[in-house]
Structure 1
Amino acid sequence: MTDAEIEHGFMAAKILRLKLITASSKVSMAKRVAPFAEKHGIMVAFHNHAVTKDPDDLATMDHFRQVLAMSSMYRINLDVAHYAASGLDAVAALEALHDKITNMHVHDRKANDGASVPFGEGVTPAAQILKMNRDRGWKIPCFYELEYVGADGRDVIAETRRELDYEIRVLNEK
């Protein structure tokens, strides 16, 4: 993106009276965006992925800390499934960064950057994450991502209902 395109994005956010933008990004892009976030007073929450081998990708705790140190306007949009699929501890990330997390993407994936799957079939500690957020009173909004539908022809509405029922069941447990 050019600086003009970055400026345009922030101007659009400002016109819409947004206080937060979430974005998938590279660490190098975060360096470029920082002055725009500060100029416009708009927070940017960076979304992580499971690409731990690329030092420019946002995937690990070190990447999170590196980006957060670039600007007081920076936050994290923690995707716990991507984090867990990387072989990293999503519960520890939530514990360490909860005050910098604006929202979480909660779904399930297989290990080793594996496929997205229904809750309970992968390595994501979704139940623990949801309960921890509830029990600690953090009130971090959690967004469910239905990423596995389509590959196997499942019904989107039925699968969304099944996943929502899982979350409700988990949150009704002690």
Structure 2
Amino acid sequence: MIKGMLFLGLNVLELEQAFFEEALGAPRDPTGGGRPALAGSEVAGGPFGHEPARTSSAGIGRGGAPASLVDEAEPATKTVRAELRRWRMSAPWDRVRGLRKLFNDAGVDVRLVKFPELGGREMSDEEVDYCFQFARTMGARAITCEPPLSQTKRVARFADKHEMIVGFHGHSNAKNVETFGRPGAWEQAFFYSKYHWANVDLGHFTAGNGYPPTGFIREYHDRITNIHLKDRKVENGPNVPWGEGDTPIKETLQLMQREKYAFPAMIELEYRIPAGSTVMDELARCVQFCKAALT
């Protein structure tokens, strides 16, 4: 991952739970998503080592339900969740610090750590504390997550306790009262804690609402942890190669540059890789798209 980031000139990372916990020896979390990481620079970033088809079965990156809505009644799911909970309560903190050093020595800033299920009904209080402890140990400035909106009041207790920012990720189902991205959802979470911020997904917002999120970004730029870059068509249309959809990636990057917003933007490579191309080829095209937008 690090070599790929440096090759593409990227140096800011949104580290995904599914990547780092498995790398540290944890059992695979059935609710934690499938993307290994989101990486970026101050302007753009991207995930490494996966094909778009490997995104979460819970609908992450496809406008589906939050990860925390996975059926916890399934016996296999309950068993793995119990194993993961036990692992987290005795996490190898020396190895976590070693992981941080690995990134730091390479000049990669682990700006954010993503726990998709943070605050969900299946996560114990002790596990929520673990998430904040992990993020702080990694030197992250914030946690990103996507619990049901109804659980954000609970998350607020921990954000206030740990004095750490939490960015809630938006999806494209603007009619689902439990997901972010619809009008009023982030504002409700903001009400519960000053540490509650927004992780705005440009593609999902545009696809679900039929208009771009630039108005929201302008109004709440001081409460945005980061934005995710992808190109989708309106009316919950598909992910497409950048420049072929309805998402204003170029205009948003130019807005960030013009207004000198402090939050980073992260590439999410979620369209199907064209025949004859590779993940790295497409990531390079996305990076070039960002550079062209800003010159």
Normalising by the residue count of structure 1, what TM-score does the alignment of the two structures yield? 0.91
2:206 to 84, 88, 98: 84
Bigger relative contact order, structure 1 or 2 (CA pairs below 8 A, ≥6 apart): 2
2:151 to 29, 54, 71: 29
Instruction: Please show how residues 14-163 of structure 1 align to structure 2 within 5 Å.
Output: 14-86=136-208, 87-150=210-273, 154-163=277-286
CA positional deviation for 1:152: 6.5
Greater than 4 Å deviation, 4+ residue runs: 150-154
Structure 1 residues 158, 63: closer, same or farther in 2, change over 3 A? same
Q: Tell me how many residue pairs correspond in the alignment.
A: 172
Q: 70-79 or 15-24, which moves further after superposition? A: 15-24
Contiguous gaps of at least 5 residues in structure 2: 1-122
Q: In the alignment, which residue of structure 2 is the partner of 1:169?
A: 292
Structure 1 residues 104, 4: closer, same or farther in 2, change over 3 A? same
Q: Supply the distance in 1 between the matched residues of 2:146 and 2:275 (Cα, whole angstroms).
A: 26
CA positional deviation for 1:124: 0.4
- Does the 8 Å CA contact 1:75/1:101 hold for their aligned counterparts? yes
Q: Supply the distance in 1 between the matched residues of 2:260 and 2:132 (Cα, whole angstroms).
A: 31
CA positional deviation for 1:150: 4.8
Amino acid paired to 1:35: R
- Does the 8 Å CA contact 1:19/1:41 hold for their aligned counterparts? no
- Does the 8 Å CA contact 1:149/1:156 hold for their aligned counterparts? no
CA positional deviation for 1:69: 0.9
- Does the 8 Å CA contact 1:48/1:78 hold for their aligned counterparts? yes
CA positional deviation for 1:55: 0.5
Q: Supply the distance in 2 between the matched residues of 1:162 and 1:151 (Cα, whole angstroms).
A: 12
Q: Supply the distance in 1 between the matched residues of 2:144 and 2:201 (Cα, whole angstroms).
A: 12
Taking only the aligned residue pairs, the percentage that are identical comes to 33
CA positional deviation for 1:154: 4.2
Structure 1 residues 135, 3: closer, same or farther in 2, change over 3 A? same
Q: Deviation digits for residues 128-154 of structure 1, max 9, x if unmatched? A: 100000011113211111011358674
Q: Supply the distance in 1 between the matched residues of 2:205 and 2:275 (Cα, whole angstroms).
A: 24
Q: Deviation digits for residues 27-74 of structure 1, max 9, x if unmatched? A: 112111110111111110111110111101112230011111110111
Q: 125-134 or 19-28, which moves further after superposition? A: 19-28
Bigger radius of gyration among the two: 2
CA positional deviation for 1:3: 2.1
CA positional deviation for 1:17: 4.0
CA positional deviation for 1:8: 2.1
Q: Deviation digits for residues 147-168 of structure 1, max 9, x if unmatched? A: 1135867421111111111111
